Structure 1
Amino acid sequence: MPEGTPSTMLPGVVDHHVHLGLVDRELLAGSTVTEVHDLGWDPREAVTWAAAPPSGVRVRYAGPFHTAPGGYPTGRSWAPAAAVRHIASPRAAAEAVADVAAGGGFAIKVALHSGLPLLPDDVLRALVAEAHAAGLPVVVHAEGAGQAERAIDAGADTLVHVPWTETLPDAVIARATHMTWISTFAIHDGPGGSFGLERALDNARMFVAAGGTLVYGTDMGNGPTPVGVNEREIGLLGRVLEGESLLRAVLAPPSALALTAPLPLPETAPDLITWLRAATRLPDATETEPGH
């Protein structure tokens, strides 16, 4: 690099919402993405991904979607049968959580999708209680009127999409500040998606202002999403966050330095996109250390 050009180091990108079974995951090898969280797939396959991940990438997995009999995503062409577990009772909830824990899953994925059969409140609460007793967070796909509120009030830890099907009232936002929300804004791009995107951005702004935690996630595999850094997602996230808050949302913890670029520290979303385009792996960061 030219003499006098600043060089900075940052952690790698963490994508908090992916579906590795729907992409060519080897394209992640050696990229600026150093950790991904698979949020719904056949747990037998997910174990193999974590054991032999793309070079330099840590893979964490939640295992199957937990849903009502017939609930989302049952019957979807993209979802293998083993990626969906039907929960009909609190006892079944306890068994399902035990299986995820035994299989090395890091979280319990729950689906609440209006227009299809929904988990009743007692089963939803049992999933949350059993997960927390096992030391696992509950991450929820909440789609449709009232479903985000149900997840919030059941004590779930994460919404895997910022709510986009409705604008949440202030009182509901105030009850959600213990949570993490995953952005996935860019999935609303395309015909008819702008209303959902603007609702999601408005909900995210209110949530962050109230003290909630917003993180970067792409739903990689949902449509023609890039395998790697999703610059559109970072750009949209920059409409809610900037500076250190943006870096915390997109990157691993500061102790996990993995990247270097001949640029100053980024402060805005365009800065961060430019920085990541120029970034390379540090020589001692070709493999992600577990547990960072």
Structure 2
Amino acid sequence: MPDGVAESVPVVTLPGVVDHHVHLGLVDRALLADGPVTEVHDLGWDPREVAAWAADPPSGILVRYAGPFHTAPGGYPTGRSWAPDAAVRHVATPHEAAEAVADVVAVGGFAVKVALRAGMALLPDDVLRALVTEAHSAGLPVLVHAEGDGQAQRAIDVGADVLVHVPWTEALPDAVIARAARMTWISTFAIHDGPGRPIGLERALDNARRFVAAGGTLVYGTDMGNGPTPGGVNEREIELLGRVLEGRELRRAVLGPPSAPTLTAPLPLPVTATDLITWLRAARRLPAPRRPPR
């Protein structure tokens, strides 16, 4: 390079990070302000509390919320110390399912969250089906926490739209994965990481690889608030996603839609998980567009 000529540095703009699975009542929400995360989806809390947070969010954050967990009387997460009473909606009959969905609509929820956990009380098939039918009639997707033998298959076969965790408690048969390919699964791999938990993580990664190969959509979500998760970008989650996705597919899983660039960094377009983590560490917010005078 001739003396006095500076090497050009590529500058790339990209959308911000969208975390598709958080619990804002269990984290310091201020830590999210003005960072690389620009949108979060709260998947289970007191609907009136989370609606208030969405109306006055941390700076630079869009908050979308599903409202409470819908579960059978005595079902997950009933009785958990971290779950306030209003974060759990017990649904015993199809009629109660219709009322519950109407309440989600009334509070401004973007989806209906359902909990199916083996070993605790489970929604019977007719009530589960009613929740899905009523939600779809209201234009809302159904997001399911499916844990334990057979619960992911129940969610898939009843027509749920999203699994909020990649299944980790069982290896799903290929035929079930094929039926799930119309769905979106949220990663949350890192909550299974650490000493004593490798089997769940490896099951989740294997299920995810086969799901993506079948045509399913995998997106980034951290379950922020579940244990000592970081407040913001979860780099370990991106690393683990990188075992399943790369390039455009990885960027689509972690970042918002291409039509909404909000971050810039003096680095090339990231391809691998390591690239993306490095890029996000260097990224800065673009100035918010000025609104025309009214």
Query: Distance between the aligned counterparts of 1:238 and 1:195, measured in 2?
Result: 18
Query: Distance between the aligned counterparts of 1:7 and 1:72, measured in 2?
Result: 47
1:27 corresponds to which letter in structure 2? L
Q: Which structure 2 residues correspond to residues 103-118 of structure 1 after superposition, within 5 A?
A: 103-118=107-122
Equivalent in 248, 251, 257 of residue 247 of structure 1: 251
1:137 lines up with 2:147 in the alignment: no
Q: What residue number does 1:30 align with?
A: 34
Q: What residue number does 1:55 align with?
A: 59
Higher-Rg member (1/2): 2
Q: What residue number does 1:151 align with?
A: 155
Query: Distance between the aligned counterparts of 1:85 and 1:140, measured in 2?
Result: 14
Structure 1 vs Structure 2 CA RMSD:
1.2
Q: What residue number does 1:98 align with?
A: 102
**Identity rate, percent:** 80
Q: How far is the alpha carbon of 1:209 from its aligned partner? A: 0.1
1:233 corresponds to which letter in structure 2? E
Where do 4+ consecutive residues of structure 1 move more than 3 Å?
none
Query: Distance between the aligned counterparts of 1:232 and 1:273, measured in 2?
Result: 9
Matched pairs, number: 286
Change in 2 beyond 3 A, CA 1:36/1:286: farther
Q: What residue number does 1:210 align with?
A: 214
Query: Distance between the aligned counterparts of 2:117 and 2:196, measured in 1?
Result: 19
Query: How high is the TM-score relative to the length of structure 1?
Result: 0.97
Q: Which structure 2 residues correspond to residues 61-210 of structure 1 after superposition, within 5 A?
A: 61-210=65-214
**Which ranges in structure 1 are unaligned for 5 or more consecutive residues?**
288-292
Query: Distance between the aligned counterparts of 1:191 and 1:71, measured in 2?
Result: 28
Deviation string 1:210-245 (CA, Å, 9 cap, x unpaired) is 000000000000000000000000000000000000
Q: How far is the alpha carbon of 1:82 from its aligned partner? A: 0.3
Q: Which structure 2 residues correspond to residues 39-54 of structure 1 after superposition, within 5 A?
A: 39-54=43-58
Query: Distance between the aligned counterparts of 1:108 and 1:18, measured in 2?
Result: 15
1:212 corresponds to which letter in structure 2? G
1:153 corresponds to which letter in structure 2? D
1:115 corresponds to which letter in structure 2? G
1:45 corresponds to which letter in structure 2? E
Q: Could you say what secondary structure the match of 1:219 adopts?
A: coil
Q: How far is the alpha carbon of 1:193 from its aligned partner? A: 1.1
